[in-house]
Every structure is written in structure tokens, then in C-alpha cells.
Amino acid sequence: MNEFERRPIRSIGVLTGGGDCPGLNAVIRAVVKTAHRHNYSVIGIRNGWKGIVEGKVEPLTDCSVTGILPKGGTILGTSRTNPFKDEEDVARMLMHLEKFGIDVLIAIGGDDTLSVAARLHEMGIRVIGIPKTIDNDLSCTDYTFGFDTAVSIVTDAIDRLHTTAESHQRIMVLEVMGRHAGWIATFSGIAGGADQILIPEVPFDFDEVCDSLRGRFNRGKTFSIVVVAEGAKPKEMKEAVTASERVDEFGHEQLGGIGQLLGRELERRLGVETRVTVLGHVQRGGSPTAHDRVLASRFGVTAIEQIAEGNFGVMVAQQGDRIVPVPLADVCRLKTVDMDLFNMAKIFF
Ligand code: F6P
């Protein structure tokens, strides 16, 4: 045990990293309120890992978290900073943990943020992870908060596209988020009654997509709705379509454009007027659903309970109806769409 691991817990640092999502504030509120019951103080770290590198922190009191439960985004701010890109940043991070008396760190994030947390744990820092991503693609947890809100936003969009598609007898292509996994496309496609769902896990064939839509038109249907995840690609393409050459500090490109490519091709091949909608960051904005507020609150409370029990280096996860700790080292693997569910969706095409 090193000195850091031995010292009594008085103060907990909390940060939110990676893309924001609805429910982050609900977690922060649950962390603060539960921590105070255990007599821990809470320090908010600004803008993800960047804040601990730069020493930007603020105390979080009961008043700081009043009224934030339904609020989207994160009151702490976020970034895609990777402190392990630069050894000096790692040193600064350790120095600031010491300087601000942070005894345990709670990192709320997706695979990138949690991979940093896992490395810190290996270095002897006491950390707890909380899974966040609208993409729902983190291993070891059935769901991440933010996903349910994103699915309801997309489902609402599909409902709206249905009425205008029907009026104009068009094909409507809807591009949604989902970099490596098509959970949002699959869930919202089923919930909204999409006529095609295209996901990163299953490269698609233009001929097959066109045959399926042609079949609908031959059966007397006058319109079609196609939901495509941003990371989906046709069989002949090696990489997903990108919106920009820039990569973030974890090496991810900005995806986007498959909707336009698909829309053009469908219109050309089928001769049916086609329109493309890209929902983009609308899916990550606004107030969390009741489901996400409950899940986020349960994650926050359980994170503090793990600290009180002295169980570090874990991520709190939903497994069935329970919130359980799982080793941080296990979680940064991609959770792809359940193929039984994806194949079930085809019954409705
Ligand atoms: O957080 C995951 C995610 O929403 C992905 O689905 C998407 O590719 C990415 O974030 C977009 O990130 P940014 O906010 O950097 O554009």
C-alpha cells in the first residue's frame, strides 16, 4: 500500500469526461448528497481530465447541486483530454491530487475516460468509474445513462419523419449517433417502426437495402424510413464516413456523412425522392428521461457506497435490476448490438 492508498478518506474529487450526455448532473447530485451523509466533502474538477491537469477545481456543496437533476449537460464541463499523452500532464495531475487533498477520484465517462481511470488505479490512485455514453457501448453494464434519452429523442424524430414522408411519398434517411455500435439506431428503429436499420456491426449491401425498400413499394407502401448509425458502412468501404480529418486526443475521427451518401444512392437506384436528416448533437442535449435520472442517481449513490466499503478500481454497473461493482480493467471493451435483437427488427421491414 502506498501513502495515497493508506490515508483516510475525507475528500472525493469528481469529474465528467468525453462527450456529454443527459443524466451527468443527476449523477453529480447523487454523489454530493450521498458523500455528505458519509461526511466526505466533494471537489468538482472542471472539464474532465483537463481540469485536474490544470488544477481547476471547485468545492461542491449541497447548494451547488440544487435544481440540477433535470438539467442536461454537465455543470462541471467536459473535454476529451487524454492526460497520458504527455508525461508532464501525468505529473501535474498527481501533483494536483495531492495539492487539493483529493483522496479518491470518481470519473464519470465512457471508454476513453475510464481507460484513464483504469491506468490511474494501476498507479495506486483510488478511483471509481461511472459509465456514461449515449452510445450504450460499454462492456459489463447492461445500460449506460443517456442512452434512454437519446433513444426517445430519435424515436420522436422518426415519428415526425413518418408523417412528412407519407405526405410526400418519400424515402427519409435518418442518420443517428453510434460510432462503433448501433444501439441507438436499433432501439429507436424498433420503437419508431423503421423500414431499414443500418449499424456499424453489420456492413450493408446497397442491393439488399434497395431490394427490401422496393419490396415495400411493390406491396403498396408509398414511403420508407431508413435509420443509419453514423458508423455504418457499405460492404465495399473499409472505413466509416468522416466529417473531418481531425482526430481527438484518443485518436477518434469525427464521423458523419453516411446519411447523405446513402440518400443519394437510394434516390439514384430506386428513383424515389429522398431526404436526409442528421440528428447530431440534438441526441445528447436537453433533459434526461425519468429512466436515465433514476439510473444516474443509482450509479452516483453506489459509487459512494463503494468508497465507504473501501472497494476501489471498480466501475458501478447495471446488471439486471442490480447496480454492482465490476473491475475497471474489464470495462473498456466494446459492447456491440445483440444480434438477436437486431434480427428481430427485420421482421418489421
Ligand atoms: O459520446 C459518443 C458520441 O456521441 C458518438 O456517438 C459520436 O461519434 C461522438 O460522441 C461525437 O462527439 P463530439 O461531441 O466530439 O462531436
CATH number 3.40.50.460 given to 150-284: yes
Q: For ligand 1, say whether the CB of 78 is within 6 Å of any of its atoms.
A: no
Question: What are the residue ranges spanned by the domains of the chain?
Answer: 3-145+288-330, 150-284
- Residue 1, pLDDT score: 60
pLDDT tens for 143-188 read 999 999 999 999 999 999 999 999 999 999 999 999 999 999 999 9
Q: For ligand 1, say whether the CB of 134 is within 6 Å of any of its atoms.
A: yes
Average pLDDT across the chain, whole number: 96
Show the beta-strand stretches assigned E in 86-241. Answer: 104-109, 127-131, 171-176, 196-198, 224-229
Q: What single-letter amino acid sits at 113? A: T
137 as an active site residue: the answer is no
Fold match between domain 3-145+288-330 and domain 150-284: yes
The protein residue whose alpha carbon is closest to atom 1 in ligand 1 is 19
Count Cα neighbours of 126 within 13 Å in the Cβ-side half-sphere.
Answer: 27
- Residue 3, pLDDT score: 63
pTM of this prediction?
A: 0.96
CATH of 3-145+288-330, one of 3.40.50.450, 1.10.3720.10, 3.30.70.3150, 1.10.238.10: 3.40.50.450
Give the span between the Cα atoms of 318 and 323, in whole angstroms: 5
- Residue 332, pLDDT score: 79
Give the span between the Cα atoms of 129 and 114, in whole angstroms: 6
- Residue 58, pLDDT score: 97
Q: For ligand 1, say whether the CB of 132 is within 6 Å of any of its atoms.
A: no
In Å, how far from its chain's centre is CA 172?
25
Q: For ligand 1, say whether the CB of 278 is within 6 Å of any of its atoms.
A: no
Enumerate residue ranges in the chain where pLDDT < 50: none
How many angstroms does the Cα of residue 19 sit away from the middle of ligand 1? Answer: 6
- Please say whether the beta carbons of 230 and 256 come within 8 A: yes
Burial classification of residue 340, based on how many CB atoms lie within 10 Å of its CB (0-12 exposed, 13-18 middle, 19 or more buried): exposed
